């Protein structure tokens, strides 16, 4: 049994807001702003270049990686942090393809986050040796895992619908066919229990600004299974993945650890904020978190369906097949979401018609979910969304 949830006192959330978008950008943890000020004023300003040693900046990426490792069932030392998730996808995929030099198929699915597919496309064009990217429907992935497949690359939790792949079953099938497995945990880390070691996948990648509350542009992470690490050939072989970065050798010699998956100079301010943000996980039992997440989302589905017959559930009804989010399809989803946001119920919209709501048991309770459903009822049933002011298109939500 872990600490009691929610732990609202550890976050700074605006009054009157019911935040159901922690699956896109997590909220501000108490202490994050203070930590940033400390890093900027005392470490950068006060210690200048010396801070790389005196303030522990050199060790920061690994320390943060170890904290993330603890949340995804990975051993200490197996997670490298830095860059963006797209870059980490590219790294994992490039390294995985090198492990299966005689195969030419990358298998993903058409529910994967577009950037993962785009990065695969870019890598395929860069290598230019006839690789193919296959993207069947998520439910057809298992059947498509053949002995042609070099790499299976999937996002566990679908960013639009919350549909969750069975990591263990798919990884087993990939391995049975001789393929390498890469899991994108963008909507999993901090959202659902993950045991990447038990799953036995070769790689996992993820971002930290969603359920891990690292802030806008927080660095990404990459996990490599310890037994393969020392054989990995880094495509993005930057100096901070070198065995001896400050020896300034002419030739690349990869670090004899997961650090070979680091690339350039780490974003110290953002990493420090993330390090602070990860403290809220101390004492949290992921099984408790999952139970609370399911309770919140079940309440939400029940309340919204009872009130709004024009909304269609776009997520799996079975909680076991769903991540920590619930989506409803609605033709006028875009203006409806703008109207909700104007009323303090913040979710987001994903084209073409998905209204997306994320559940973060660290800072949400049941009463808020019921209240959110009431606001949704008002916006949908009273057609509040018809107001022209909710139809102006912005770029993000």
Judged by CB, which is closer to a copy of itself: 58, or 295?
Answer: 58
Q: Which residues of 47-76 are buried (b: 16+ CB within 10 A; e: fewer)?
A: eeeebbeebebeebbbebbbbbbbbbbbee
CA distances from 24 to 122, 127, 300 (A): 25, 32, 18
The Cα 63–Cα 311 span in angstroms is 44
Describe the chain by its helix, strand, coil percentages, rounded to 5.
Answer: 45, 15, 40
Q: What are phi and psi of 366, to 5 degrees?
A: -60, -40
Q: Which member of 69, 117, 157, 289 binds a copy of itself (CB under 8 A)?
A: 117
Task: Give min distance, CB of 215 to a copy of itself, in A.
Answer: 6
In the 8-state DSSP scheme, what is residue 4?
A: -
Out of 9, 130, 143, 216, name the contact with a copy of itself by CB under 8 A: 216
Tell me the C-alpha distance between 307 and 301, whole Å: 10
Q: How far is the CB of 75 from a copy of itself (least distance, A)?
A: 24
Among 2, 45, 283, 309, binds a copy of itself (CB under 8 A): 45
122 binds a copy of itself (CB under 8 A): yes
The nearest distance, CB 177 to a copy of itself, in angstroms, is 24
Number of residues that bind a copy of itself (CB under 8 A): 97
In which element (H, E) is residue 325 found? strand 325-329
Q: Under the criterion CB under 8 A, does residue 150 sit at the interface with a copy of itself?
A: no
Of the candidate residues 2, 121, 146, 386, the single one contacting a copy of itself (CB under 8 A): 121
Q: Which of positions 173-192 make contact with a copy of itself (CB under 8 A)?
A: none
Q: Catalytic positions, please?
A: 113, 184, 209-210, 356
292 to 331, contacts with a copy of itself by CB under 8 A?
none
Query: Does 344 contact a copy of itself by CB under 8 A?
Result: no
List 242's β-bridge partners, or say none.
254
Token representation of residue 306: 């009872």
Q: Binding residue for a copy of itself (CB under 8 A) from 10, 85, 150, 174?
A: 85
List the one residue from 235, 295, 329, 375 that touches a copy of itself (CB under 8 A): 235
Residue 163 DSSP class: B
Residue 40 touches a copy of itself, criterion: CB under 8 A: yes
């Amino acid at each position: 049994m872990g600490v009691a949830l929610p732990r609202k006192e550890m976050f700074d959330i605006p009054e009157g807001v019911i935040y159901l978008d922690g699956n896109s950008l997590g909220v501000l943890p108490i202490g994050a702003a203070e930590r940033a000020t400390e890093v900027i004023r005392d470490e950068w300003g006060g210690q200048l270049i010396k801070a790389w040693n005196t303030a522990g900046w050199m060790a920061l990426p690994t320390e943060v990686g170890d904290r993330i490792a603890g949340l995804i069932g990975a051993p200490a030392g197996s997670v490298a942090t830095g860059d963006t998730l797209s870059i980490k996808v590219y790294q994992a995929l490039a390294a995985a393809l090198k492990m299966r030099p005689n195969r030419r198929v990358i298998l993903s699915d058409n529910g994967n986050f577009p950037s993962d597919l785009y990065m695969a496309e870019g890598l395929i064009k860069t290598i230019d040796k006839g690789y193919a990217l296959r993207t069947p429907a998520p439910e057809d992935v298992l059947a498509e895992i053949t002995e042609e497949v070099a790499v299976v690359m999937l996002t566990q939790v679908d960013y639009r619908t919350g549909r969750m792949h069975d990591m263990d079953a798919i990884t087993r099938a990939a391995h049975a066919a001789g393929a390498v497995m890469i899991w994108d945990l963008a909507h999993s880390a901090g959202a659902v229990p993950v045991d990447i070691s038990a799953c036995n996948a070769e790689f996992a990648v993820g971002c930290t600004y969603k359920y891990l509350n690292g802030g806008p542009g927080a660095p990404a992470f990459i996990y490599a299974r310890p037994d393969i690490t020392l054989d990995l050939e880094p495509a993005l072989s930057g100096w901070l993945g070198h065995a001896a970065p400050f020896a300034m050798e002419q030739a690349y010699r990869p670090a004899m650890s997961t650090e070979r998956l680091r690339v350039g100079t780490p974003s110290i301010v953002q990493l420090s904020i993330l390090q602070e943000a990860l403290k809220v996980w101390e004492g949290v039992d992921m099984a408790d978190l999952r139970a609370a997440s399911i309770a919140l989302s079940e309440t939400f589905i029940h309340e919204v369906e009872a009130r709004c017959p024009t909304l269609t559930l776009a997520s799996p009804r079975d909680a076991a097949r769903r991540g920590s989010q619930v989506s409803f399809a609605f033709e006028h989803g875009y203006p409806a979401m703008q109207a909700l946001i104007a009323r303090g119920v913040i979710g987001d919209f994903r084209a073409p018609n998905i209204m997306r709501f994320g559940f973060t048991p660290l800072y949400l309770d049941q009463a808020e979910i019921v209240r959110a459903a009431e606001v949704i009822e008002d916006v949908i049933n009273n057609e509040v969304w018809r107001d022209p002011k909710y139809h102006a298109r912005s770029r993000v939500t």
